[in-house]
Amino acid sequence: MPYNSNENETTRKWNGVATALLLGLMLLAWVGVSFQAQAQSFAVSGTVLIKGEPCMGTPKIVLRGSSLVAEVNSDGNFTLLGIPAGEQTLVAFCLGKKMVAKVLEINQDIDRLEFVLADIENELEDVQVDGRKVEDFAATRLQSVENFGVYDGRKSEVIVLKEMVANTATNNARQVYSRITGLNIWESDQTGLQLGIGGRGLSPNRTSNFNVRQNGYDISADALGYPESYYTPPVEALERIEVVRGAASLQYGTQFGGMLNFRFRRGTEDAKIRLTSRQSGGSWGFFGSFNSLEGKVGNLRYYTYYQHKSGNGYRPNSGFKAHNFYTSLDYTFSEKFSGSLELTKMNYLTQQAGGLTDRQFQENPRRSFRDRNWFNVDWNLGALTFTYNFSDQTKLNTRNFALLASRQSIGNLERINVADFGEERTLISGDFRNFGNETRLLHWYRLGKETQTFLVGTRAYHGTTTAKQGWGSRGSDADFRYLNPDDLEDSDYAFPNRNYAVFAENIINLSPKLSLTPGVRLENIQTFADGYYKQYVYDGAGNVLVENRFDEELERRRSFLLFGLGSSYRKNEAVEFYANVSQNYRAINFTDLRINNPNLRVDPNITDERGYTADLGIKGSKEELFTYEVTLFYLRYFGKIGQVLRTDSVLFNDYRYRTNIADARNLGVEAFGEFSLLNLLRKDENQVKWTVFGNFSVIDARYIRTEDTAIRNRKVEMVPPVTLKLGSTFRYKGFSVSGQYSYVDAHFSDASNAVRTATAVEGLIPSYSVADISAIYRWKSFALEMSINNLFNEQYFTRRADAYPGPGIIPADGRGFYATFEMKF
């Protein structure tokens, strides 16, 4: 075993250092509060009047340049506490209304202040907690406190879908996530049925290094033991996509990657019923139909949709059919109490064309040598959420969620350089039964002269995964039946798991400009395995000489504390500095425990990963002009799980060996900026709007502290050293057009940094550049969208697979044309 890093000793040292640092800084925060110069703070109360149609969401009052915020109740009243003396600007806003700002001289409590919010047409305002509006930009950030989450001193990124001009009908991740920094994106299917993104040097495999959520609750197969996302919500149904890095682990789990949350539309409040119908067509027989109903009747607000997708795929043997249904019901029981019910149903069947060797890809990337590989997913989600407002200062939210789902794959798992002779196919199936609850209490209180924010929460999660592997039929159809279901040829396991956690974070405002956010999470993880697997001994002709069955019953329990600390300094409205550090933990996956794959072997002594992440950054924006962010990050692993290339000692075949290969560190810088050119040039922008953005990251990720000289100081796999995305959007009245350029530097697919192998499972992923262009024309209740993906028909690939949908090189799609016609009634 190549990894030999005194993990326990290192972890104990890090825990001691982190604890001392956290306690010291918390003490500093309390001392700082007590020494606030006799400066007084005051309260402002009043009313907000809504003119015209009701606004979307809850109106808010914020103190510009700070994290102070107050929600407006159903009677239109508000109270904002903790306002420092002097000249201050209060801002009232609500989605769909014009923002209103008032400059006040604060030297005493003020009551009966009135704001009037009027309609605004054809705009979506997304206002930060400091009162600034980022207009016309598709990228923004989360507020310091939002949706029962604390994000002060953190790096957060939000994609506002309404402001994007992109190919949403096909969930084109390259376009949709173009404004998220440091991402490596796997492009494995034409229509984005499965999202594969990894941030800051983490593997993109089914987005498994993010805690993936939908409206705040888990949607992956198993958040601990199998955190892969087979279901991706359709972009056409989303209001925005939220990404929180590093320090999000304290609120959302223990993972290194952070949190990815898909926030759906909640239904309009200005009509009892509204229908949206979108019909799409495109290259390689693509057809998509998206139809939604939304509205508000009394205290009930609803949103529902049905989506269908089908097509033949870029390569032969890659057709697909997908169905997706979702409904949400939001009901306001009283001024203080509200609830929501959500149901999701998704099913798709896709044929998989298999991988290619390097030579086959160079000759013709559209070829396929597998016609018997199929993949099927059935995903069923339910969530029941309640919110109770004890007062303007104390709020409670509880989320109950359940997943009943399955995935099945059948096909030839042999290396692509081995011909398919039509023998029994390998059938792998997984069933997921998960139930969970997260409850959060948010409280604002006075400490010294400032208003502070405290968040405490609990999590209880019970999941059971069953994983089976055996022989399927010799046919070519999508037949997901085992030949011998009572005695499978490979393995049959049940993986129950339990997770209980308590977490707390506190925004400590030392002044209106400076804040500290310490946090802690107590985690208890219990994982179990009960089943069997088989091993075989073959003769030279491939006949079975010996068959051994091994029954296993495993149990593993662990409890630990994670600490984190964030800080923020707001120099002025356009500049904010932040820093944070947080411990991380990632449990081994069920696939690390038992799976039979001729291209992959797993170390039986593999252990969980530990480490920490740290950020240091600057961000800011100026109303209608620009938004920017630059972040320096450091990610440290102790006992990183990875894959190295090994050679079989009997048949001398290459295979991947998965183990804790070494300690590792990822160091990088990521930068993003978006600018409104005409506003910067002080031109009239009422009719014409022109924005440009740039997204750049540089990452150096290497393996360290290992006795294996073949790995030491090697580059971590799946980490492009440089990624660059540039784009521009031009708008004139109802017409919008957007162009985008993406560059991804060359990187490796395994830790040994092999350049090329006969199986093509390991090797270099060459650099590539891709351009896209999209346009939209809106007229009254109609819209026409057109898009050209991969404008210059670049021949490239983003991954080398060791199993499905490979093994081997998985080519990305060539140039494709798409069109969508939308109607709203």
> Over the stretch 686-718, which tens digit does the pLDDT of each residue have?
678 899 999 999 999 999 988 778 888 899 999
Q: Which of 86-90, 92-96, 478-482, 590-594 has the lowest average pLDDT?
A: 590-594
Using pLDDT thresholds of 50, 70 and 90, give the confidence band for residue 27. very low
CA separation, residue 720 to residues 175, 451, 660, 749, 765 (Å): 18, 43, 22, 10, 9
pLDDT at 25: 43
The distance from CA 223 to its chain's CA centroid, rounded to whole angstroms, is 13
- Please, what are the domains in the chain? 43-128 (2.60.40.4130), 260-824 (2.40.170.20)
> Over the stretch 533-578, which tens digit does the pLDDT of each residue have?
888 877 767 678 888 888 888 888 999 999 999 999 988 778 999 9
Q: Span 583-602, mean pLDDT? A: 71
> Over the stretch 222-262, which tens digit does the pLDDT of each residue have?
887 788 889 999 999 999 999 998 655 688 888 888 899 99
**Is residue 651 predicted with pLDDT exceeding 70?**
no
pLDDT at 249: 62
Q: Span 642-660, mean pLDDT? A: 69
**Is residue 269 predicted with pLDDT exceeding 70?**
yes
**Sign (positive or negative) of CA dihedral 167, 170, 173, 174:** negative
Spatial separation of the C-alpha atoms in residues 405 and 347, rounded to whole Å: 10
pLDDT at 132: 35
Using pLDDT thresholds of 50, 70 and 90, give the confidence band for residue 594. low
Spatial separation of the C-alpha atoms in residues 90 and 63, rounded to whole Å: 5
Of 810, 679, 726, 824, residue with least CA distance to 175: 726
Spatial separation of the C-alpha atoms in residues 520 and 744, rounded to whole Å: 36
CA separation, residue 457 to residues 393, 437, 525, 770 (Å): 16, 10, 17, 43
Look at phi and psi of residue 793 and say left if phi exceeds 0, alpha if psi is from -120 to 50, else beta: left
Spatial separation of the C-alpha atoms in residues 572 and 564, rounded to whole Å: 26
Q: Who contacts 95 (Cβ-Cβ below 8 Å, separation ≥6)?
A: 55, 56, 57, 124, 125, 126
pLDDT at 26: 43
Q: What three-state secondary structure class fits 728?
A: strand
pLDDT at 65: 66
Nearest-10 Cα torsion for 744, 748, 750, 756: 130
> Over the stretch 145-182, which tens digit does the pLDDT of each residue have?
888 998 988 899 999 998 899 989 998 999 999 999 99
CA separation, residue 168 to residues 62, 185, 192, 478, 775 (Å): 33, 16, 10, 29, 12
State the chain's mean pLDDT as an integer. Answer: 86
Using pLDDT thresholds of 50, 70 and 90, give the confidence band for residue 36. very low
pLDDT at 597: 59
pLDDT at 8: 47
> Over the stretch 405-442, which tens digit does the pLDDT of each residue have?
999 999 998 888 888 889 999 999 999 999 999 999 99
**Is residue 607 predicted with pLDDT exceeding 90?**
no
**Is residue 9 predicted with pLDDT exceeding 70?**
no
pLDDT at 56: 64
Of 803, 534, 811, residue with least CA distance to 656: 803
pLDDT at 28: 41
pLDDT at 290: 97
Residues 31/687, Cβ–Cβ less than 8 Å: no
Q: Span 329-333, mean pLDDT? A: 96
Q: Who contacts 444 (Cβ-Cβ below 8 Å, separation ≥6)?
A: 81, 392, 393, 394, 451, 452, 453, 454
pLDDT at 67: 63
Q: Give me the helices (H) in 374-438, please.
A: none
Tell me the one-letter amino acid at 194: Q
What's the predicted TM-score (pTM) here? 0.84
Spatial separation of the C-alpha atoms in residues 645 and 24, rounded to whole Å: 45
Structure tokens that stand for 714 in this block: 């090697």
Structure tokens that stand for 262 in this block: 């898909």
What phi and psi, each to the nearest 5 degrees, are found at residue 162? -65, -25
pLDDT at 126: 33
> Over the stretch 190-224, which tens digit does the pLDDT of each residue have?
678 889 999 998 989 888 889 999 999 999 998 87
Kindly give the pairing relationship between strand 259-264 and strand 211-214.
Answer: parallel
Of 654, 227, 238, residue with least CA distance to 461: 227
**Is residue 685 predicted with pLDDT exceeding 60?**
no
Q: Which of 130-134, 338-342, 382-386, 411-415 has the lowest average pLDDT?
A: 130-134
| Burial of residue 257, with CB atoms counted within 10 A of its CB: 0-12 exposed, 13-18 middle, 19 or more buried | buried
> Over the stretch 789-825, which tens digit does the pLDDT of each residue have?
999 999 999 999 987 787 899 999 999 999 999 999 9
What phi and psi, each to the nearest 5 degrees, are found at residue 186? -90, 130
pLDDT at 596: 60
pLDDT at 640: 86
Residues 675/692, Cβ–Cβ less than 8 Å: yes
Tell me the one-letter amino acid at 575: V
CA separation, residue 597 to residues 170, 490, 592 (Å): 32, 10, 12
Spatial separation of the C-alpha atoms in residues 98 and 121, rounded to whole Å: 9
Task: Determine what percent of the chain is predicted with pLDDT higher than 70.
Answer: 88
Spatial separation of the C-alpha atoms in residues 590 and 227, rounded to whole Å: 10
Task: Determine what percent of the chain is predicted with pLDDT higher than 90.
Answer: 53
Spatial separation of the C-alpha atoms in residues 61 and 46, rounded to whole Å: 10
> Over the stretch 101-148, which tens digit does the pLDDT of each residue have?
888 888 888 888 889 888 654 333 333 333 334 345 888 888 888 889
Q: Which of 94-108, 174-188, 280-294, 328-342 has the lowest average pLDDT?
A: 94-108
**Is residue 371 predicted with pLDDT exceeding 90?**
yes
Cis peptide before 807 (omega within 30 of 0): yes
**Is residue 328 predicted with pLDDT exceeding 70?**
yes
> Over the stretch 495-542, which tens digit does the pLDDT of each residue have?
999 999 999 999 999 988 899 999 999 999 998 889 998 888 777 676
